[in-house]
Amino acid sequence: MGPCEKQKQYDLTLVASDSLNDNQTTIVIHIRDVNDMPPVFPQKMYKRTLKEEKAPTYRILKN
């Protein structure tokens, strides 16, 4: 791993809820040493609200 890759993997917990139910799943991000440029996120936090009938393949956030 290069100098920017301090961890090989990140585990995130995604929680989805509505007025009656909630559920969660784990998202695993594997880091590959493709280049040594650090990742850049313009915002510290991203929050999205989705309608319940959206398709499972609906893109929540795009780069």
> What pLDDT does residue 20 have?
92
What is the b/e burial string over 2-25, where b = at least 16 CB atoms within 10 angstroms of the residue's CB?
eeeeeeeeeeeeeeeeeeeeeeee
What average pLDDT does this structure show over 14-34?
86
3-state helix, strand, coil in the chain (%, to 5): 0, 30, 70
- Report the C-alpha gap between 19 and 22 in whole angstroms: 8
pTM, whole model, 2 decimals? Answer: 0.49
> What pLDDT does residue 11 have?
92
Residue 30's pLDDT band (cuts 50, 70, 90):
confident
